[in-house]
Chains A and B, each alone.
Chain A
Amino acid sequence: MSATLGTLDRRAAVKALLADRGDLLVISGLGSSSYDVFDAGEHPGNFYLWGAMGGAAMMGLGLALAQPKRPVLVITGDGEQLMGIGSLLTIATKQPGNLSIAVLDNGHFGETGMQLSHSGLGAKLEVIASGAGIRSVSDIADMAGIEAFRTSLRDVGSGPRLARIRIAAGEVERALPPRDGAYLKNRFRAHLGFAVS
C-alpha cells in the first residue's frame, strides 16, 4: 500500500511559505527541512535543527508559549514528525494559537536512503493531528494551498494548525545551514532582543 504521492517541489513550497515572513519565527526539523529553510533565505529568526529527531514540534511549542504574540512555524518532514507523534497530543492540550506545523510529506525517510515511511505506507498525519485535537488541519497538494496556509500563519489566534504538504520524493541538492548550535541559539535570542549573557 502506498499513499498518493505528492508533486510539489519542496524548495519552491518552503520558499513560498516563507515569503514576506514579517515577524515569523521558524524551527526546522533535521535533514532536508533544515536545508529547505536555509535555501529559502538566511534569517536570524530561523533555528535549524541538525539532530534531536522528533523534537521540532515540541521546540515550537516551547517557543510559541514564550512568545505568544509572534507567529511560530515548525517546518519538518514526515519522518521527523512521526518520531515525535505524541507531541501533537501535547500541543493540542495547550492550544497555542500562534503555532503552526508544516509537515513536508514525501512518504519517505529521505536522508537515509529513501525508505518508505509510515506516511508513505498509508498513515495520514493530518487525520492523526485532528484526532489529537489540533484545531486546524489541512492536506495541501498545490501552490494555491501553500499560499492559503501562508496567509493563515499571521493570525496568532486561530492555531494550532498542521498542514500536511505533499511534496515530490526526488533528491534535492543539499544546502547546508550553520551547524554550531550555540551560535544559532544566541543569534535567535538576539533577534528577539535578549542579550548574550
Chain B
Amino acid sequence: MDQIAVHQDSATSTDWPVAIYRTLKDFGVAQLSYVPDAGHSKLIKLSHADRAIKTTVLTTEEEGVALSAGAWLGGDRAVLLMQSSGVGNCVNMLSLMASCRFPLLTLVTMRGEWAEFNPWQIPMGKATPQAFEIMGVTVLRLDNPDDAEEVISAAASLAYDGDQQVAVLISQRMIGRKKWTKETH
C-alpha cells in the first residue's frame, strides 16, 4: 500500500471496494487483471497503488481468464474484474479452467438489472449467471455492502482452496444509478 491509505477503522458500509481489497489481501492475491468498469474503479485504484499486486489492464475479458491460469501455474493467486457485459467473451476460455481444474475468482459488476437506462446493457446482464453456469462456474451474489468481506472470503476459499471457478456478481443496486443527464428521473 503506497499512495492510498486504507485504514482498518475507516470502513463504512459504503466502502465495500475497500472491504473487497482487504479480503483479497488477506487471501494473498498477487495478481489482479481487469477490463475497467466504473463500479470497480476504486478497487482498481487500490490495486495499482499496491506494489505487492501485479495489476494488468486487459483488451478483452478472456485474456484475464488465461492470465489467471498462468499466474496459478507460477504460484500466484489472481483475481479478474469485469462488468457483466464482458462475461460472454469468456465462455470458451473457461474450458481451460475446467479442463485443468484451475482456480478462478472473478468479480463482476452488474449492468442491466437495476434502474438500467441503457437497453443495450440488458441482454448480456440478464444472461450473465447462465453464461457462467453453462461452463460450470459457481455464481455467488453480493447484494449488500455489509456482506462484502464475507461473500468475497467465501468465494476466495472456494476458488483457491477448492480449485473451483467462482464468479461474484455485484448488484447494480450497490453501485448506484448512473447519471446520464442533469435532469433527475
Residues of chain A at the chain B interface (Cβ within 8 Å): 25, 27, 47, 49-56, 58-67, 84, 86-87, 89-90, 93-94, 181-182, 184-185, 188-189, 192, 194, 197
Contacts and interface: CB of A to CB of B under 8 A. Distances in A.
Contacts of B74: 25, 62-67, 192
B70 A61 contact: yes
12 contacts: A25-B74, A52-B69, A53-B92, A55-B65, A56-B66, A58-B64, A59-B67, A62-B31, A62-B73, A66-B73, A66-B74, A182-B101
Of listed B64, B73, B96, residue having the most chain A CB within 10 A: B73
A93 B63 CA distance: 13
A62 B74 CA distance: 8
Contact of B71 (A62, A87, A90, A188): A62
Contacts of B141: none
Given A53-B92, A65-B31, A66-B31, A27 B59 contact: no
A59 B67 CA distance: 5
Interface of B: 30-31, 54, 56-60, 62-76, 78, 92-93, 95-96, 99-102, 161
A157 B24 CA distance: 29
A65 B31 CA distance: 8
B21 to A, nearest CB: 19
Given A59-B70, A62-B67, A66-B70, A182 B93 contact: no
A84 B76 CA distance: 22
A58 to B, nearest CB: 4
Contact of B69 (A53, A54, A59, A194): A59
Given A67-B75, A90-B56, A52 B95 contact: yes
Contact of A66 (B30, B63, B96): B30
B62 A54 contact: yes
Nearest to A85: B59
A191 to B, nearest CB: 10
B54 A60 contact: no
Of listed B54, B62, B70, residue having the most chain A CB within 10 A: B70
A87 B59 contact: yes
Given A90-B58, A90-B59, A62 B68 contact: yes
Of listed A50, A63, A64, A93, residue having the most chain B CB within 10 A: A63
B63 A87 contact: yes
A59 B66 CA distance: 5
A189 B59 contact: no
Contacts of A185: 72-73, 100-102
A185 B100 CA distance: 7
A65 to B, nearest CB: 5
Contacts of A84: 63, 66
Nearest to B60: A86
Given A52-B66, A66-B31, A189-B73, 7 more contacts: A52-B95, A58-B70, A62-B67, A62-B68, A62-B70, A62-B76, A185-B101
Contacts of B92: 51-53
A147 to B, nearest CB: 27
A27 B63 CA distance: 15
